[in-house]
Amino acid sequence: MHPGFAIGYGTVLARLDDEVILGGGTHFLLARNGRGKTTLLRTLAGSLKPMEGTFRSTGFLQYLPEDLRFDPEMPAKSLFGTLLPKAQRETALALADHIELDVRKPYGRLSTGNRRKTSLILAEYSVRPNVGNILLLDEPFSGLDVFARQAFEKLWQHSAAGVLRLVSCHPDYDAMAMPSTLLIENGNLRYLHATGQSWRGLKKLL
């Protein structure tokens, strides 16, 4: 993202003053409600135009919105079979079993957390090998239990080199490590990065 890049609807919600370059790994996106987290993700995904300035993304990009829905009659197993590359289906099913997602239950009968598990598995196993990948994740942990959350965080660690993840979230414990973070506050978009940086310190800036 280049200096002068700005996001918003009609009026600017947040503007970037300094260039930000993100590489592979997990980067967090923090802001109070209504300050522009989803707007930024949608702008980077290409469904909204920047209010000002420009940005550039390189790689296969996927955007996972918080309100994504699938056919209520289709079970997760059918969604995996339809939407995932054949080589990834068995691994996806193994993860689903590990995090206790019932892949035979119709999507419309799943809990909020299990719908989120389905969406995350689809996104993660749609990642393309041998190319750069970008995943824009809007509140991916909404409704997830701690066990499932830890399973996805472990997956992220193993694939950090080949996937850039920008994760909008509401952290739920002070010690949560957030060494690379985009922060929106008072109309400013800032990039904060430091070893040992955690939610304990970052929440004081919002």
* Residue 125 host element (H or E): none
Q: What pLDDT sits at residue 130?
A: 84
Nearest to 45 by CA among 123, 115, 135: 135
Q: Which residues pair with 150 in a beta bridge?
A: none
How far apart CA 149 and CA 173 sit, in angstroms, is 13
pTM of the model as a whole = 0.94
Name residues whose C-beta falls within 8 Å of residue 51's C-beta, 6 or more positions apart in sequence: 6, 7, 8, 11, 12
Q: What is the pLDDT along the chain (206 residues), one digit of tens a residue?
A: 999 999 998 899 999 999 999 999 999 999 999 899 999 999 999 999 999 999 999 999 999 998 899 999 999 999 999 999 999 999 999 999 999 999 999 999 999 999 999 999 999 999 998 889 999 999 998 889 999 999 999 999 988 888 999 999 988 888 889 999 999 999 999 999 999 999 999 999 98
Sheet holding 25-30, edge to edge: 6-9, 11-16, 188-193, 180-185, 25-30, 163-168, 133-138, 60-64
Answer whether 173's CB lies under 8 Å from 141's CB: no
How far apart CA 206 and CA 202 sit, in angstroms, is 7
Domains in the chain, CATH or no CATH each:
6-68+130-205 (3.40.50.300)
Q: What pLDDT sits at residue 142?
A: 87
Answer whether 174's CB lies under 8 Å from 194's CB: no
3-state secondary structure of 7: strand
How far apart CA 42 and CA 103 sit, in angstroms, is 29
